[in-house]
Amino acid sequence: MSTPDGDQNVVEGEIVDETPTEALAIPAPPLPEADYSEGGVPSFDFVRDKIENRYTTSLGSVDVAGLGTENTAEALDKKIADRDQAAKDRLAEIRRSMRGE
């Protein structure tokens, strides 16, 4: 498509108002009702769920840190020391066999 002036870069467009449109307000999801009595005392199930949630969160963070019950820092240090001692013992055994003892 050519124009009378011969300019090939002309683009037709529509002029629109620059008034900003307000974003649609997204309603917050309804919060679950806490299991409280009329006197304000939480139910046993509510308390138990909260404790279990905290316990599993702490277990997960320990696992993520790599320090489970069998992999404490002290246990890892002991495994390294045992492995080093086993290597020294094996090296001494090889040296004795080389000497003919």
Mean pLDDT computed over every residue of the chain: 79
Residue-wise pLDDT for 38-63, tens only, equals: 777 888 988 999 999 999 998 888 77
Please measure the distance between the N-terminal and C-terminal CA atoms of the chain and give it in whole angstroms: 100
pTM greater than 0.85 (yes/no): no
b/e map of 37-63 (b: 16 or more CB within 10 Å)? eeeeeeeeeeeeeeeeeeeeeeeeeee
Give dist(CA 66, CA 84) in Å, integer.
22
Mean pLDDT calculated for residue range 16-37: 70
Q: Report residue 55 as tokens.
A: 């316990």
Query: What's the pLDDT score for residue 14?
Result: 79
* Contact (CB, 8 A) for 36 and 42: yes
